[in-house]
Amino acid sequence: MRPRAACAAPTRCAPDRRPGPRRPLAAALLAVLLATAGCTGQPAPTAATRPGPAAETATSGIDALFLAMMVAHTEQTLDIVKLGLDRTTDTEIRTLIAAVRATETDELATMRGWLREAGPSAAAAAERHDHSGHSDAAAGLARLRAAPPGEADRVLLDVLGAHQRTAAELARAQVQAGTSARVRDLAGRIERSRSAEVALLAKLRAR
């Protein structure tokens, strides 16, 4: 069985032919999430089938794994944005990535807090998953540092676009397989915001 994340819109159901190393990150999370959930082929639990209010904030190993991976991913986003603000002078790009920095700084604080609340066992379960090799952030940062001034904007848009697309895929996988209502809600908001950012970055790239 090859688990797949649910498509949020019909256009997302088309095969993804984009090259690059970002795919293993979302694929790894989705595989772990669905395997942990049993990969039974049944849809993710709905609000109607969930336990009472205590389950709304309870953080399972699945949720902790997503939070740990998204914390690492968000830290990398902030590294890219910081360097981007140093490299670009384009007003529109600076406005967008400054908004990304503000949003993701707040989200990072929230996710770190929820991981602390989850307790040592959930956090330890998440940390046992090997995140190494899943991210293309280091290569993207290297590209951005090495880009000549005339190419810095284009490279930034490419690097950040690929990185945010991965975040959207991770979040979509969590919406499908997560158990905590609040973590799934955050994942849904992340999926929507990152997808919107990817579209804006592509629009800027096409100017």
Q: How far apart are the first and last CA of the chain?
A: 42
The CA-atom distances, in angstroms, between 163 and each of 65, 79, 137, 168 are 19, 11, 7, 9
Per-residue pLDDT, 205: 94
Per-residue pLDDT, 198: 98
pLDDT score of 55 more than 90: no
Q: Give the pLDDT mean for 186-196.
A: 98
Kindly report the three-state secondary structure assignment for every residue of 56-100. HHCCCHHHHHHHHHHHHHHHHHHHHHHHHHHHCCCHHHHHHHHHH
124-183 pLDDT per residue, tens: 766 666 555 557 899 999 999 999 999 999 999 999 999 999 999 999 999 999 999 999
More confident residue, 18 or 156: 156
Gap between the Cα atoms of 144 and 155, Å rounded: 6
Q: Give the pLDDT mean for 107-115.
A: 95
- Label residue 11 by pLDDT band (50, 70, 90): very low
More confident residue, 4 or 69: 69
What region, left, alpha or beta, does residue 41 occupy, with left being phi > 0 and alpha being psi -120 to 50 degrees?
left
More confident residue, 161 or 13: 161
pLDDT score of 48 more than 60: no
pTM: 0.75
Per-residue pLDDT, 59: 83
Per-residue pLDDT, 22: 41
Q: Give the pLDDT mean for 51-59.
A: 60
Q: Are 78 and 108 in contact (CB under 8 A)?
A: yes
Q: Which of these ranges, 54-58, 97-101, 167-171, has the smallest mean pLDDT?
A: 54-58
Gap between the Cα atoms of 74 and 107, Å rounded: 8
Per-residue pLDDT, 121: 73
| Domains, the chain, with CATH or none | 22-32+58-205 (1.20.1260.10)
pLDDT averaged over every residue in the chain: 79
- Label residue 29 by pLDDT band (50, 70, 90): low
